[in-house]
Amino acid sequence: MGKVLVFLAGLLAGAALAHVASKTPAGARVFAVVNGVTDEFVAALSDSYRARLAEAE
């Protein structure tokens, strides 16, 4: 039970730190890059999935 509490405390601390960091100009740039890379990855994954579905039909 203690390990779960430590994990949850770390998760909350990380979320709070990310929230504070995103308010700075440098933090906003980092999150913009991360969001851009994530969007590209999700788009490529979606395109691949749709192509596989089209092959199966």
Instruction: Report which of residues 57 and 19 the model is more confident about.
Output: 19
End-to-end CA distance of the chain: 49
Q: What one-character DSSP code corresponds to residue 22?
A: T
Is 44 strand, coil or helix?
A: helix
- Contact of 45 with 39, CB cutoff 8 Å: no
7-49, pLDDT tens digit by residue?
999 999 999 999 999 999 999 999 999 999 999 999 999 999 9
Contact call for residues 22 and 28 (beta carbons, < 8 A): yes
pLDDT of 56 reads 83
pTM (2 d.p.): 0.68
